[in-house]
Amino acid sequence: MTWAVYESATETGTFTQIYAGANTLGSSSHVWHSSPNVSIPVQAGMYYVFGAYWSSAPTTYNYGTSIASSHIATTWGEHVDGAYLNSASTLPTSTAFAAPNNTFPVRVHTGIDDDCGGQVAPSGNTLSLSGSIDATDPVWARPSQSCSSTPGIDHYYDVFAITNHTGADQTVDILAAWGGDGYLHVYDHPVDPTSVAGCLSGDDDDPTTATSGIYAEPIAAGQTLHIIASTFSANLAIGAYTIEISTN
Ligand SMILES: [Ca+2]
Ligand SMILES: [Ca+2]
């Protein structure tokens, strides 16, 4: 089975293939089948099609198929419509999809944001994260480094969730290296782009605009913190960055 994800700025396309991966199904029974594990960034405002493609003749290949009568909310977006390509001889790298269309149910498991985060490293070790601040990222009212609110929902940002599964309370040093003048924050719950609620720590420059640092941030056993990469300036995409989270 080949699994594919397509992305488009409009509901009917043209859609561009942004992922394709194949595996061998563990069963030929009429059950849910799974794609390989994937990491696919999704951007606000874009449309996505999740597809499955095979070359042999199926006898049964869908469950509960229907034309969606209304949009269905999910935790990370909204189901708008179905899409399929009947008797396609190959998996296209780009295609349009007609609408409305039949919906073939899929289950999609997602992380918190485009940049997934990870587990806090054992004491003396480092968790390395990386990403890019781009003009397609969501925007927020970036707080000051003392977590005070600022006007304007106009700074691009990425979120990483880190969880402490080390089995003990820890403190971490968080060091970011930016492609421009970046800004670093730590939240104790997912970010509300319009509110500073949950903001624990922040840092602008350490010691220059090229880096930011937050030191000895406590993270209890089992706790999840959210690391936010952002910028000093509004509406400015500063490109690639790295964040090193060292456990003391
Ligand atoms: Ca980003
Ligand atoms: Ca800065």
Are the C-beta atoms of 133 and 158 separated by less than 8 Å?
A: yes
How far does residue 2's CA lie from ligand 2's centre (Å)?
43
Same domain flag for 122 and 229: yes
Tell me which ligand sits closest to the C-alpha of residue 231. Answer: 2
Say whether both 26 and 66 belong to one domain.
yes
CA of 132 to the centre of ligand 1 (A): 4
CA separation for the pair 120, 220 (Å, rounded): 11
pLDDT of residue 114: 44
Which residue, 50, 82, 110, sits at the end of a domain? Answer: 110
Predicted pLDDT at 106 = 77
pLDDT at 189 (0 to 100):
81
Instruction: Residue 159: give its domain's CATH number.
Output: 2.60.120.380
pLDDT of residue 150: 95
| Ligand located closest to 184 CA | 2
pLDDT for 219 equals: 97
Of 207, 189, 213, whose CA–CA distance to 199 is shortest?
Answer: 189
Identify whether residues 131 and 243 lie together within a single domain. Answer: yes
Spacing, Cα 234 to ligand 1 middle (Å):
15
What is the spatial distance between Cα 235 and Cα 93, in angstroms, rounded to a whole number? Answer: 32
Which pLDDT score is estimated for 113? 44
Domain that holds residue 54: 1-110
181 C-alpha to ligand 2 centroid (Å): 4
The Å distance, Cα 223 to ligand 2 centre, comes to 27
- Do 130 and 99 belong to one domain? no
C-alpha 179 – ligand 1 centre gap (Å): 12
Which of left, alpha, beta for 13 (phi over 0: left; psi -120 to 50: alpha)? left
Ligand nearest to the CA of 180: 2
Ligand with smallest separation from the Cα of 134: 1
Residue at 232: amino acid letter: F
Give the pLDDT of the chain (248 residues) as one tens digit per residue: 899 999 999 988 899 999 998 888 877 777 777 787 677 777 888 999 988 888 777 656 665 556 556 667 666 678 887 887 776 778 889 998 876 667 777 777 654 444 567 889 999 999 989 999 999 888 999 999 999 999 999 999 999 989 898 889 999 999 999 999 999 999 998 788 888 999 999 999 999 999 999 999 999 998 989 999 999 999 999 999 999 999 99
Res 36: pLDDT: 77
Residue 128 and residue 101 share a domain: no
Q: Which ligand is nearest to the Cα of residue 182, counting in written order?
A: 2
Q: Do 180 and 95 share a structural domain?
A: no
Separation of alpha carbons 222 and 164, rounded Å: 5
pLDDT of residue 44: 83
Q: State the pTM of this model.
A: 0.57
CA nearest neighbour of 188 among 215, 147, 154, 223: 223
Measured from the alpha carbon of residue 239, the closest ligand is: 1
Distance of CA 158 from the midpoint of ligand 1 (Å):
5
**Do residues 170 and 207 both lie within one domain?**
yes
pLDDT for the residue numbered 192: 84
- Domain boundary residue among 87, 110, 133? 110
